[in-house]
Structure 1
Amino acid sequence: MSKHSTPLTSGWTLRLSGGEGPGGLDGLRRDGVPARVPGCAHGDLLAAGVIEDPYLGRNELDAAWVGRADWRYDTVLPRVPDGFERTDLVFEGLDTVAAVALDGAAVGTTRNMHRSYRFDVTGRAREGAALSVAFTSAYTEAEALRDLLGPRPNAYPEPFNYIRKMASSFGWDWGPTLVTAGIWRPVRLESWSTARLASVRPLVTVADGTGRVEIRLDLERTVPGEGRALRAAVEIAGRSADVAIPAGATSAAVTVDVPDPDLWWPRGYGDQPLHTCETVLTDAETGAVLDTWERRLGFRTVRLDQTEDAHGTAFTIEVNGTPVFARGVNWIPDDALPARVTPDRYRRRLTQAAAAGVNLVRVWGGGIYEDRAFYDACDELGLLVWQDFLFACAAYPEEQPLRSEVEAEARENVVRLMPHPSLVLWNGNNENLWGFRDWEWEERLAGDSWGEGYYLGLLPRVVAELDPTRPYYPGSPWSGSWDRHPNDPAHGTSHFWEVWNRRDHAGYLDDVPRFAAEFGWQAPPAYATLREALPGEELEPASPGMLHHQKAEDGQGKLDRGLAHHFAPPATFDDWHYLTQLNQARAIATGVAHWRSHWPVCAGTVVWQLNDCWPVTSWAAIDGAGRPKPLYHELRRLYADRLLTLQTRGGARGSARVLAVDNQSDEPWEGRARVRRMRADGTVLAEDALPFAVPPRTVATLPLPAETAEITDRHKEFLVADADGLRDVVLGGADHEFAYPAAELDLDVRPVPEGHAVAITARTFVRDLLLQADRLDPSAEADQGLMTLLPGETRTVTVRGTGPGGLDEQRVRAALFSVNTAQATRPVETSRTT
């Protein structure tokens, strides 16, 4: 008889079992509230009306007591099937410090959110037995270990580096402080006999046209060291193999060769064929099926090119021998209460990423090892996954009990995730090697452990042992050696945060990194998201709710200083909101376009960040309500296979203007680019037609003739380059210096099957026109973002989700923004410059 699984998803109650809280909680201590499993205490208290939604207003502060309290989940077991030798109680995830009991008798304890747990409850698991899971506050555990092991440097004033829990639960510069507790992943009773598959490790390789799947099996037997002879059979892609397992043996290996397999490729490089691999464990004598394991695998090779060359040390991901320019985004937990993220939500967010041209998603080290649904979606969408081990922005003690937890966690998750062909890189940590060198950690630590032994010792050993088919890199940023600065742009991975923190986004132009793994610029979320999150508040950049939903140090000040480089101070909140969102998109465009034009020296850009976990002003392209910001639409342009941008290169007189024709597609790109120097009134001052022929995966830079390239009046002239529907526009100076004409627009609004089509015709030069569809209806979305139109040009924007009512011209005009309207036109003196 095959094993039997009984989910334990219903009948749970949550009770307050310790700690202080607001008054009126006697009922919560005595009777509790219904609990959802999987879930967390915050979610159950919110559903029961005990706390207000912590995402709204400043309610987060009123819910702080929840993370300091102790909680207990209780249920009774259903009927347990007869006829099995063993019954296990299996928790796929407990958050975090828990004691499990059956009928009051201890079953086991846990102290790691990132592991699963299996407890033998044979003979004790019976129908009606009382199951309880008592959670001690993560603060209690973390603070006790801090007292025991001594202080360690930390980027935030919370003890997340002393507990194996989602670090960002304790707050981040984009996230709320909601220190969760609960049964956050599924729990079940599992009954089995004779033996089961304790772990299955598929090592997938391709060599000389043949795909090979080597399945490494670890077995658990009901009687350790004894038991019956077994057989394991593996089938994939129409091929199969099996192996006899002697009585008492607890490991085995089966290899299947697949001639000429269809290869799995990242999106934009080929298809993503996936093959179901089934492993079946049977009793050798009776043939009875004891256990099965099934996953979808993909045949591909991956290599990290770290060749030293004239530019430094490369960091280029190669898939199937092909170097890939990584068009990446950083991923954080999609909800501060991660149990709420469903497979559909993963799919929706990752589909948004793929639609924006993204081909790599970095799972950041302050979050979680995501659910299988996340990696399944990446497999299908062709999104490469860079997976951090979970260490971020802090010194992590290497003493017990943390060290054994780190190793167990790493071993389990390497095995759990390695079936996914999308996973191409294991990364040791986020910013900790850099922090040791640059953030005064070395002096403060005075020889105490801080995590180096994990990143340069333990973790690479675990990966080499369990998953030798994938590269491991010690951290990001990391230059490959302590002989160099950890964040040296010429070597390995680099993070660029001084630009946002202290400079203008033009600072991205100062470097050509080998791989830009983090850089970003903040902006507020969509207007409708702000209205939902801050009900009744009069919105101002420094209003109480806006400041509470801005977690970065001096975040609003940095936004305003960033605007000041380019724009006159905005007169209204709506203008401020539009301009900060515009400046975010322009900042990322500055970096990505510059670095992408230097391929293959620069082999990737990973924007911070794709998503948000709640409604907040942050670096995200998609806000906490799932609404795209203008940056999202700009990524669609920047990460398209073909990109046309005006750049500068060193020349005889300093720097010369060039046109970068960037072809990351697998087909040649031939055409003719039209480059014009124009006046704001639409007059063409100079024009050139530049023919180009760019091979696949190649960038060409075309010098511009001086007559076209040299702007002589920065107040009234600009350059525009067009080819095959692509456009780039460059002013002669800052926007606040430019004499923008009043935006004159003709609108034609008409219903179409998808919603409404808005045809916009410009009668003047209109810079960065944006239709904020969510101002028309909170559920509405436009299919285009920022647009720059020349006099006489028409663009049509399709708006979906506007509800049953129609749209009229007046409503649409109220939702249209441009630099022309956000910046009051002021008379300026004409000057001639070169």
Structure 2
Amino acid sequence: MALKNLNKLYLIGFSVVLLMGCENKQGPLVLELNKGWSFKAADDQQWAATEVPGTVHTDLLNLGLIKDPFYRLNEHQLQWIDKKDWVYRSTFDVTEKILAQDFIALNFEGLDTYAQVRLNDSLILESDNMFRRFTLPVKTLLKPQNNTLEILFESPIKKGIEKFDALGYSIPMSGNDLAKIGQVEGQKEVSIFTRKAGYHFGWDWGPRLVTSGIWRPITLEAWSAVKIQDVFIRQTIQEDKAQLTAQLEIVATESADNHSAQAEILVDGKVVQTKRVALNSGVNNLEIPFVINDPELWWPNGLGDQYLYEVSVRISQGQSTDQKTQKVGLRTLELIREPDNFGTSFYFKVNGIPVFMKGTNYIPQDPFLTRPTSDHYKFLLESARDAHMNMIRIWGGGIYELDEFYALCDEYGLLVWQDFMFACAVYPGDPEFLDNVKQEAIDNVKRLRNHTSIALWCGNNE
């Protein structure tokens, strides 16, 4: 009897091994690079431990090297920080499993602002926009152990002065660049030349603390065969059904002939559409339609529930697979501009119903952007919901917020009026500046456009 049971266990175990072998599919491998960082002023010799994400000011404050910037007039004593260059450095190891993948990239979610990035002494990026994201192929530069990632942050004031002097004349501003407090050479107002949060240079509600640093995460990502680069869910709502289209950007390392790749759409965990697709090496743009019958609609706070469908897109080729999941609310939203007794109307309809918008203007929660926690975000937006607000306007002198902010707005029924990051100034119009802004807009619109809460993109603050 014992031998029979042992044989049964052996057969079951053998079957499990076979099944595991058949299902040997994997998505991208991700290594977070937020540990083991140190920093220093570029002209110093001594390195000090630091936190990433973070800022130069918070790092100095945590080490006790500067006084509290928000106490009395300490702000004036800290204006030397933005005149220096700063260096951040980390070392990391990479597993053989990662190194064996077809494609390996470093993802930079936010570098503030003038950054030169070197991996193992090779220059891989020069960035000049804190609002942009970068994905860089690095497979050929990696080794199993002791990879060194070093980021030089050049002084935003010195870089701004270079651009100011090159222009040859002043551009009108509204006085929010507090160059006098900043002890800037000739009191030159240089903030408009740098794609950086405007309030860093001082505002009527906050101090001038022009910081630098790795303000959003860095990851190493490795994958083989296929990867979903972007998903955009378009929707058309009718009374008894919602017709949706998943617009996909799929990256393939090699061509998949004869429709050997498979794309699937899942709604709340159930497969609702399957399509065989042929992929070419490089970026592939696909559209996959699907339907949700008798849809539950998403409503702003106070008008109904905020039902969110979980929509997943899965792509498989051979033993490789990738999947992206997004919460999607189904709703129509119109901005009504029609002649009226006063000129032209300006109001929103949601699901065909005119809505009186009640809300607030949102500025960054802390001058140092890495200090607010998830609890801070949740408390703030819950408070807006509980105060019967239904719209939040994100101010153009701050930042495009974290994904978490918009996910909470989706959940709480708070529509978002989203400014692009321009405020109270005339900006340069040269091709280099405009191209930088164009890429910034593409990055952030693609990142945020699936959020149900996004109601309107506005060109600037004032």
Q: TM-score with structure 1 length normalisation? A: 0.49
Structure 2: runs of 5+ lacking an equivalent: 1-25, 178-188
- Match 2:394 to one of 357, 363, 368: 363
1:668 alignment counterpart: none
1:436 alignment counterpart: none
Please tell me the residue identity of whatever aligns with 1:264. Answer: W
1:72 is aligned to 2:87: yes
Q: What per-residue deviation string (whole Å, max 9, x for no partner) do you get for residues 717-738 of structure 1?
A: xxxxxxxxxxxxxxxxxxxxxx
1:330 alignment counterpart: 361
Higher relative strand content: 2
- Match 1:211 to one of 219, 222, 242: 242
Larger radius of gyration: 1
Please tell me the residue identity of whatever aligns with 2:29. Answer: H
| RMSD (Å), alpha carbons | 1.6
Q: What per-residue deviation string (whole Å, max 9, x for no partner) do you get for residues 90-114 of structure 1?
A: 1111111101101212111111111
Please tell me the residue identity of whatever aligns with 2:206. Answer: G
Please tell me the residue identity of whatever aligns with 1:140. Answer: K
* Match runs of 1:750-789 below 5 Å: none
CA distance in 2, matches of 1:245, 1:110: 36
CA distance in 2, matches of 1:203, 1:253: 10
Q: What per-residue deviation string (whole Å, max 9, x for no partner) do you get for residues 192-216 of structure 1?
A: 1122122211223313432233111
SS of the aligned residue for 2:42 comes to strand
CA distance in 1, matches of 2:200, 2:252: 38
Q: What per-residue deviation string (whole Å, max 9, x for no partner) do you get for residues 218-271 of structure 1?
A: 123335xx4565322111244521333323161111122101211100110000
CA distance in 2, matches of 1:239, 1:143: 56
- Match 1:97 to one of 110, 114, 125: 114
- Match 1:61 to one of 65, 71, 76: 76
Please tell me the residue identity of whatever aligns with 2:173. Answer: N
Q: Which moved more, 1:391-400 or 1:264-273?
A: 391-400
Instruction: After TM superposition, give the deviation of residue 311 of structure 1 in Å.
Output: 2.2
2:328 alignment counterpart: 297
* Match runs of 1:27-426 below 5 Å: 29-80=44-95, 81-126=98-143, 127-149=145-167, 150-156=169-175, 157=177, 158-222=189-253, 226=255, 229-237=260-268, 238=270, 240-248=272-280, 250-283=284-317, 286=318, 288-426=319-457
Please tell me the residue identity of whatever aligns with 2:304. Answer: G
Question: Contact 2:256–2:278 (CA<8 Å) still a contact in 1?
Answer: no
Q: What per-residue deviation string (whole Å, max 9, x for no partner) do you get for residues 641-679 of structure 1?
A: xxxxxxxxxxxxxxxxxxxxxxxxxxxxxxxxxxxxxxx
Question: Contact 1:351–1:381 (CA<8 Å) still a contact in 2?
Answer: yes
CA distance in 1, matches of 2:300, 2:41: 48
Q: What per-residue deviation string (whole Å, max 9, x for no partner) do you get for residues 378-418 of structure 1?
A: 11111111101111100111213211111111111111111
Please tell me the residue identity of whatever aligns with 2:103. Answer: R
Higher relative contact order (CA 8 A, sep 6+): 2
Structure 1 ranges of 4+ moved more than 6 A = none
- Match 1:17 to one of 42, 46, 67: 42
Q: What per-residue deviation string (whole Å, max 9, x for no partner) do you get for residues 460-492 of structure 1?
A: xxxxxxxxxxxxxxxxxxxxxxxxxxxxxxxxx
Question: Contact 2:226–2:320 (CA<8 Å) still a contact in 1?
Answer: no
CA distance in 1, matches of 2:72, 2:219: 38
Q: Which moved more, 1:301-310 or 1:233-242?
A: 233-242
The number of residue pairs the alignment matches comes to 416
Instruction: After TM superposition, give the deviation of residue 79 of structure 1 in Å.
Output: 2.4
CA distance in 2, matches of 1:239, 1:139: 53
CA distance in 2, matches of 1:427, 1:210: 31
CA distance in 1, matches of 2:240, 2:363: 37
Instruction: After TM superposition, give the deviation of residue 41 of structure 1 in Å.
Output: 0.8
Instruction: After TM superposition, give the deviation of residue 13 of structure 1 in Å.
Output: 0.3
Q: Which moved more, 1:201-210 or 1:53-62?
A: 201-210
CA distance in 2, matches of 1:140, 1:4: 39
SS of the aligned residue for 1:215 comes to strand
Q: What per-residue deviation string (whole Å, max 9, x for no partner) do you get for residues 151-188 of structure 1?
A: 32111243221111111111111011111111100111
CA distance in 2, matches of 1:184, 1:227: 39
CA distance in 1, matches of 2:114, 2:253: 28
CA distance in 1, matches of 2:40, 2:448: 34
SS of the aligned residue for 1:339 comes to coil
Please tell me the residue identity of whatever aligns with 1:93. Answer: G
Q: Which moved more, 1:35-44 or 1:208-217?
A: 208-217
Please tell me the residue identity of whatever aligns with 2:216. Answer: R
Instruction: After TM superposition, give the deviation of residue 144 of structure 1 in Å.
Output: 2.0
Please tell me the residue identity of whatever aligns with 2:170. Answer: P
Instruction: After TM superposition, give the deviation of residue 141 of structure 1 in Å.
Output: 2.4
Question: Contact 2:117–2:150 (CA<8 Å) still a contact in 1?
Answer: yes
Instruction: After TM superposition, give the deviation of residue 86 of structure 1 in Å.
Output: 1.4
Q: Which moved more, 1:263-272 or 1:121-130?
A: 121-130
Please tell me the residue identity of whatever aligns with 1:62. Answer: Q
Instruction: After TM superposition, give the deviation of residue 36 of structure 1 in Å.
Output: 0.6
Instruction: After TM superposition, give the deviation of residue 145 of structure 1 in Å.
Output: 2.2
Please tell me the residue identity of whatever aligns with 1:58. Answer: L
Instruction: After TM superposition, give the deviation of residue 289 of structure 1 in Å.
Output: 3.8
Please tell me the residue identity of whatever aligns with 2:58. Answer: G
CA distance in 2, matches of 1:389, 1:115: 13
Please tell me the residue identity of whatever aligns with 1:240. Answer: V
SS of the aligned residue for 1:189 comes to strand
Q: What per-residue deviation string (whole Å, max 9, x for no partner) do you get for residues 73-99 of structure 1?
A: 101012232420111111111111101
* Match runs of 1:698-713 below 5 Å: none
CA distance in 1, matches of 2:261, 2:162: 47
SS of the aligned residue for 1:250 comes to strand
CA distance in 2, matches of 1:147, 1:277: 51
Cα 1:92/1:428, change in 2 over 3 Å: same
Question: Contact 1:280–1:289 (CA<8 Å) still a contact in 2?
Answer: no
Question: Contact 1:33–1:45 (CA<8 Å) still a contact in 2?
Answer: no
Cα 1:355/1:220, change in 2 over 3 Å: same
Instruction: After TM superposition, give the deviation of residue 60 of structure 1 in Å.
Output: 1.2
CA distance in 2, matches of 1:242, 1:427: 37
CA distance in 1, matches of 2:418, 2:240: 28
SS of the aligned residue for 1:64 comes to coil
Identity of aligned residues (%): 36
Instruction: After TM superposition, give the deviation of residue 123 of structure 1 in Å.
Output: 2.6
Question: Contact 2:54–2:215 (CA<8 Å) still a contact in 1?
Answer: yes
CA distance in 2, matches of 1:371, 1:234: 26
Please tell me the residue identity of whatever aligns with 2:274. Answer: D
Question: Contact 1:90–1:118 (CA<8 Å) still a contact in 2?
Answer: yes
Question: Contact 1:75–1:131 (CA<8 Å) still a contact in 2?
Answer: yes
SS of the aligned residue for 2:384 comes to helix
CA distance in 1, matches of 2:199, 2:251: 35
Q: What per-residue deviation string (whole Å, max 9, x for no partner) do you get for residues 588-640 of structure 1?
A: xxxxxxxxxxxxxxxxxxxxxxxxxxxxxxxxxxxxxxxxxxxxxxxxxxxxx
Instruction: After TM superposition, give the deviation of residue 42 of structure 1 in Å.
Output: 0.8
